[in-house]
Amino acid sequence: MKTELVTTLKRQAARVLADLHETGEPVLITEHGKPSAYLINVDSYEYMQDRMHILEGIARGERAILEERTFSHAEAQEKMKKWLG
């Protein structure tokens, strides 16, 4: 992963973005020698967001199972009748 100073980003944003688009590699932005932010391309960000939503759904399902908030197939069909026709 590439690392850039925030001052470099301010002065050479076009070059940093061009490198990002060319390599697809995230850029760690540092301020005062400490990590401050990651710069990633749009496709990577959207992919991560989609994955996060999927993982959150799985976690909700696992929590429902542990808390015994689930239905049998027949119970679910009964509850969904008005939408299923």
pLDDT for the residue numbered 29: 98
Local confidence band at 64 (pLDDT 50, 70, 90 cut-offs): very high
Q: Give the tens place of pLDDT for each residue, 8-33.
A: 999 999 999 999 999 999 999 999 99
Domain residues for the domain of 27 are: 2-40
Quote the CA–CA distance of 70 and 61 in Å, as a whole number: 9
Under 8 Å between Cβ of 41 and 24: yes
Quote the CA–CA distance of 82 and 55 in Å, as a whole number: 29
pLDDT for the residue numbered 1: 92
pLDDT for the residue numbered 31: 98
pLDDT for the residue numbered 84: 81
The CATH number assigned to the domain holding 14 equals: 3.40.1620.10
Q: Is residue 9 part of a domain?
A: yes
Number of separate domains in the chain: 2
Across all residues in the chain, what is the average pLDDT? Answer: 95
- Regarding whether 30 and 54 lie in a shared domain, the answer is no
